Structure formats: C-alpha cells, structure tokens
Amino acid sequence: MPRHSSDSPGSGSELHQRRVRRMLLASSAVTLLLSLGWGLFFAWRCDWLIVATDAFLCLLALRGGRLARTGQLHRAALTLLPGLLLVVLGHAIFLDLPTPAAPRTAHLYLLPMAIFSIVVFRHGNSLLRQGLPLLFLTLFVLLSATQFGLPTSYALPDSLRVPGSWITSIAAIGTLLILLHLLQSDLSETSTQERELRDGITGSQFELFYQPQHDGKGRLIGAEALVRWRHPERGLVAPGEFIPLAERTGLILPLGQSVLEQACRQLARWSREPGKAGWSLAVNVSALQMQQAGFVATVLGLIDYHGVVPGRLKLELTEGVLLQDFDQVSAKMHQLRSAGIAFALDDFGTGYSSLQYLRRLPLEQIKIDKSFVAELGRQDRDSAIVGTVLVLGRSLGLQVIAEGVENAEHWQLLSGLGCRLFQGYWFSVPMALPDFEAYAEAGRLPSDWAQPVPELPEQEQPAFA
C-alpha cells in the first residue's frame, strides 16, 4: 500500500491521541472540581492538612490540563497519575479508615485510574503499559479486601465519612463512566469510519495519484502510485487519514488489491502509447498483503490478465514488512522476481537490518529515505550516509533513488554524490492521472533546473525491463 511519506504526513495513532487527550482533559476537570469542592469544605472546618492536599491536586489538575491542551500527552499523564496515586493512598490509609458505620471509599478512584493508564500507555513500554494498571488494580483489591489503615489524629469521623462515602462513590463511578463513554464514542466513530471505508472500496472511490520519478537528465522514467480517497462528502482524503484504519481493520487487503489492479491497468494502457511504454510504476505493499498465501498468484494473475511487462511493475517494501516473517517474504519475493517483477526497498537506512536485506533479497532498487535528503548541506553525517548508500548500491548493481527532493540544492548535492534517480516535490506533488500525463507531455522541469549531470556508464543506467 502507498505509504504516507511521499505524499502527506499522517499518523496511525491520530484516533488514539485524540482519545487520550479527551481522557486527560476530563480527568483534569474532574480532579479540579472535586479538589476545589473538598478544599473549600475543609477550609471552612480549618482542616488545613487536607486543604493542602486538595490545593496540591488543584495545581496537579491545572498542570495536567495545560500539558494535554498543548499536545504533551505522555507528560500530562505522568504528571497526573503519580500525584493522584499518592493522594488516594494517603486518604485511604490515614484519613478514610473503614468502620461499621461507613466503608472505605477513597480507593474507588483506583478503578478509573487503572482504565486511564491502560488507554494512555497502550503504546508505551511494558512497565507503563502493564505495570501501572496492575499496580492500581492490586492496590484496589488490597484496600477493598482488608481493613488496613493507620489511625491518626487526622482520621475523619464517621459523621463526615457517611455522607462523604456517598459523594466519593458517586464521583469515582461517575469518572469511570465518563472514561468508558469516551472509549465507546471513539469506538462508534471508528465503526462509522470503517463502514465508510468499506463502502468507498466497494464503490470504487479510491484512485491512484502519480508522483513523477526522474533521472539525472530530467527525463521522466516513471512514477510512484499513491492512493487517494474521493469521498462523496469530504472530498479528496489523504492516505494518512484512512491507511491506519484500513490496516487495523484488515480492509488494507481489498484496498491493496484495488491499487494493484489500477496500477496494472494503467501500465497496460501506457504500454500501447508511444513514449510511455517504458515507464515504470511503483506500488507499496503492506505487511498484511505479503502475509496472504495467495499474494504471488494474485500479482502474477494481474500481470498476465492485463498483459503488463513484469519489469514495469515495481513493488516497494519497507523494513516493517520484512520483519513480519523474513523467510516467508523472501520466498515470495524470489518467486515474483523470477517472473520479472521488480522490487524496491523503501526508506532505506532507517532500519536495523538493511544490509542483510541487500544480501539476501532479490532487490532491484533502494530508496534513500527523505529524512536523510532533508538534512543534506546541513548535516555532514547525512551527506556521508547518502554517499555511502550510493556507493553501496552501485557496487551491488542496484539502482538508488532519492525521495524527498524538495529544492534545487537537494538535487545538486545528490547529483554531486552520484545519485541519478530522483523523486520529490521539487519536480511535482502527486497528481491525478490527467495532470500527470499533461505534465509528462509538457516535459516540465523545475524553473531552477541546473545543467544535467554527466552521463553514467552503461552498466549503471536504469533498467526497467
């Protein structure tokens, strides 16, 4: 499947981030209101120690809310939870001692805190993701099943604890319901989006856009296919808004099938038009697609049905795809390569095992990640990395294409390092098919295009057959 990097920025965790932000703001608001209310009450009673803890909670809630509003969600959660835990345990052990007249209720807040931590740290390390919920639930069980407490002169009398237990119970369960409601509302929204996505696939609302790829002489050699959703109400939707959902729901499979079919159909049309028959078309493939037992047969079937020259179709894989099941993916790649299908390793240099991939996989091309290109001229290390990748690619007989070429400086620096294949916004943004073909016919190049680079030796010329 087309990834995000070449077209529009997007994050698979947008829904999760929004959910966390809502929970943080709701938790901060509840904490602030309860702390203010109890603080004023105990100030009237002149119980200044409790007033101090409520003031601390007020500051904590304000700080957590401010961090959440500015997008610092992780910091906001780590600000709120430790302080809340400290205060809840202090109240449960020293102030809210269970008696026959009134049970302990302060520990009830540990339940919404456990739910909160499960959601907030879903993508965190195991200590936060599993340790915090386990800690909160363990403490809840211990405080529920025992009478443990440390009697002090600050322990609240039953005259306060009886009505207070009702207020605390309602507040804790109310907070839990608020968090569950936020979860449920997001799940409902996800279901609606999934239904729209499914309808979009069956209704052929997805189409390919094309980002040109040029050689060092400025000649158009092909394009990368990037999918767009022409939503009947929202208009043109970028992949960052629907690819993560498609991957989570498995709809990436029919969507990927649609993209491959459109790519093969377009390559077949170009093969019948003078000047276009030599173009290649790169299509990204998702991990879930590669895991399908029938993936090889599907690709070969499309190639045969549309009469496409196999080498014109280039399948781009990221390291994330290869990490799923390297041996299985490698076997499928060798099967397809033996039939003439070309493979490119995308985002090269950003993973950990890329050299192993170069040695063991039937690759034709590697793509220099745009993060390295963006820092050319400013970071010596990035220039060194790009230069090394180019030398490595040439020594292994691989094409090397740089993506993310945004300006003439990028092109000049890459050309000076020996790069001869380019893709990026400096040439053009991804375009609908009519605009791409008009772009090709006009032979457009950037207005600040410099002199062409020297011709490469024959063995280093791009080969797409």
Give the lowest-confidence range in 32-46, 88-102, 183-197, 266-280. 183-197
Position 187, amino acid: L
Phi-psi region of 34 (alpha: psi -120 to 50; beta: other; left: phi over 0): alpha
What pLDDT does 66 receive? Answer: 92
pLDDT tens column, 385-399: 888 889 988 888 999
pLDDT average, residue stretch 331-344: 94
What pLDDT does 374 receive? Answer: 85
pLDDT average, residue stretch 360-376: 88
What pLDDT does 143 receive? Answer: 94
Q: CATH second-level architecture of 205-460?
A: Alpha-Beta Barrel (3.20)
**CA 250 distance to own-chain centroid:** 16
Whether pLDDT at 455 is above 60: no
pLDDT tens column, 238-251: 888 888 878 877 88
What pLDDT does 301 receive? Answer: 95
Name the segment(s) of the chain with CATH classification 3.20.20.450. 205-460
pLDDT average, residue stretch 195-199: 83
Reading the block at residue 70, the tokens are: 């500015």
What pLDDT does 462 receive? Answer: 38
Q: CB within 8 A of 361, min separation 6: which ones? A: 322, 330, 333, 343, 345
Position 21, amino acid: R
237 strand-pairing partners: 229
pLDDT tens column, 249-266: 788 899 999 999 999 999
pLDDT tens column, 290-305: 888 899 999 999 999 9
pLDDT tens column, 26-35: 899 999 999 9
pTM of the predicted structure, to 2 decimals: 0.64
- Band (55; pLDDT cuts 50, 70, 90): very high
What pLDDT does 242 receive? Answer: 85
pLDDT average, residue stretch 115-143: 88
What pLDDT does 172 receive? Answer: 93
What pLDDT does 379 receive? Answer: 72
What pLDDT does 9 receive? Answer: 31
On average, the pLDDT of the chain sits at: 85
What pLDDT does 339 receive? Answer: 93
In the numeric block, the tokens 């989006």 are attached to 193
b/e code 107-131 from CB counts within 10 Å (16+ = b): bbbbbbbbbbbbbbbeebeeebbee
CA dist 97 → 152, 158, 303 (Å): 10, 9, 75
Distance CA 127, CA 40 (A): 37
pLDDT average, residue stretch 329-346: 92
Q: According to the 3-state scheme, what is the secondary structure of the chain? A: CCCCCCCCCCCCCHHHHHHHHHHHHHHHHHHHHHHHHHHHHHHHCCCHHHHHHHHHHHHHHHHHHHHHHCCCHHHHHHHHHHHHHHHHHHHHHHHCCCCCCCCCCHHHHHHHHHHHHHHHCCCCCHHHHHHHHHHHHHHHHHHHHCCCCCCCCCCCCHHHHHHHHHHHHHHHHHHHHHHHHHHHHHHHHHHHHHHHHHHHHHCCCEEEEEEEEEECCCCEEEEEEEEEEEECCCEEECHHHCHHHHHHHCCHHHHHHHHHHHHHHHHHHHHCCCCCCCCEEEEECCHHHHHCCCHHHHHHHHHHHHCCCHHHEEEEECHHHHCCCHHHHHHHHHHHHHCCCEEEEEEECCCCCHHHHHHHCCCCEEEECHHHHHCCCCCHHHHHHHHHHHHHHHHCCCEEEECCCCCHHHHHHHHHHCCCEEECCCCCCCECHHHHHHHHHHCCCCCCCCCCCCCCCHHHCCCCC
N residues, the chain:
465
For 56, phi and psi rounded to 5 degrees? -60, -45
What pLDDT does 203 receive? Answer: 87
CA dist 101 → 89, 98, 161 (Å): 21, 8, 9
Greater confidence, 69 or 450?
A: 69
Percentage, residues of the chain above pLDDT 70? 91
